[in-house]
Amino acid sequence: MRFQREAKLWSQLRHSNIVPFYGANFTTEPFFIVSEFAENGTLNDYLAKGNVGLKAKWQLMHQVAVGLSYLHRKNIIHGDLKGDNIVLSKQGVAMLTDFGFSFLDSGSCSVLAMRDRLGALQWRAPEYIANLAERPTFASDIFSLGMCIIAAVNGAKYPWGNFDSAAVRKCYEERRIPVKRPHCMTEDQWELVGKMVAFEWKVRPKLDDVLEHLANFASTEERSIPVQFANKQKLPLNQQEID
């Protein structure tokens, strides 16, 4: 059962950029998972408010990458990284959630189950949309993270804009990724993000390189922290793992 597998995997995670797991019921219906309440909602909801500056966006994306790095170091692939699966705590810290498609790299994974959420195709790497024999990989998580960055910097809900599932599939069949450099991205920033969303997975950078660049972008962008957090807590850049 996917729900039980998600609960078991999530219960083993302890990190400041992962939503804390409190418990689950999968013995009697209705099944449910109890986790920490994210007072600032999803990343998409938060960015839709329109008062998030560039520096804060890069800091949030660095936090997302730190959380993803924690998963990868545990040999876990998220498999469904997108704006709706990133939430913000009361203090404005980005946390990963929804591990229904996550799995150990050495474990099994239902590819057909992953096809259920076609609305997420804009974040999904081409290699496991076009080929039913493929499954998410560490490289496909990098692709999804790149799409999250594009959407966040643009302040948009979708990285591709108004592309439906059929249009996304057609682009992948033509071996192209129709995303352009956001006008507020520097050349250095786009050089990284463009490689992250490359069609060929071998071109995509390693997560350690992504982390280094994102930390630099987050620290050098003109300061523009949202007012509601400016006097409360600086968005953390340092990785904090709880043993």
**Is the distance from CB of 234 to CB of 56 less than 8 angstroms?**
no
Query: Does 5 reside within a domain?
Result: no
Question: Residue 157 gets which letter from DSSP?
Answer: S
What pLDDT score does 165 carry? 81
Distances (CA, A) of 81 to 68, 71, 101, 125, 225: 9, 12, 9, 11, 24
Backbone angles phi, psi at 24, to 5 degrees: -155, 155
Query: Does 138 reside within a domain?
Result: yes
What pLDDT score does 240 carry? 36
Q: At what angle do helices 54-73 and 207-220 cross, to 10 degrees?
A: 160
What pLDDT score does 202 carry? 95
**Is the distance from CB of 38 to CB of 89 less than 8 angstroms?**
yes
Distance between CA atoms of residues 28 and 13, nearest Å: 24
**Is the distance from CB of 40 to CB of 21 less than 8 angstroms?**
no
What pLDDT score does 133 carry? 46
Question: Residue 124 gets which letter from DSSP?
Answer: S
What pLDDT score does 136 carry? 86
Q: Could you tell me which residues come within 8 angstroms of residue 2 by beta carbon, excluding any fewer than 6 positions away?
A: 100, 110, 113
Distance between CA atoms of residues 212 and 222, nearest Å: 18
What pLDDT score does 225 carry? 41
Query: Does 213 reside within a domain?
Result: yes
What pLDDT score does 77 carry? 92
164 is catalytic: no
Q: Which domain holds residue 67?
A: 39-227
Query: Does 232 reside within a domain?
Result: no
Q: Could you tell me which residues come within 8 angstroms of residue 186 by beta carbon, excluding any fewer than 6 positions away?
A: none
Question: pTM here?
Answer: 0.82
Query: Does 174 reside within a domain?
Result: yes
Q: How many domains does the chain have?
A: 1
Query: Does 110 reside within a domain?
Result: yes
What pLDDT score does 130 carry? 65
Which of these, 55, 64, 66, lies nearest to 96 by C-alpha position? 64
Residue by residue, pLDDT tens for the chain (243 residues) are 667 777 888 888 999 999 998 998 888 888 888 889 999 999 999 999 888 999 999 999 999 999 999 999 999 999 899 999 999 999 999 999 987 666 565 554 444 344 444 447 888 899 877 665 467 899 999 999 999 999 999 988 888 888 888 888 888 889 989 888 999 999 999 999 999 999 999 999 999 999 999 999 999 855 444 434 433 333 433 333 333
- CATH number, residue 61: 1.10.510.10
Chain position carrying tokens 């019921």: 25
CB atoms within 10 A of CB 49: 12
The neighbouring-strand residues paired with 104 are: 76
Q: What is the chain's Cα-based Rg? A: 17
Which of the residues 45, 80, 98, 141 is marked catalytic? 80
Each residue of 99-134: pLDDT tens digit?
A: 766 656 555 444 434 444 444 788 889 987 766 546
Helix, strand, coil share (%) of the chain residues, nearest 5: 45, 10, 45
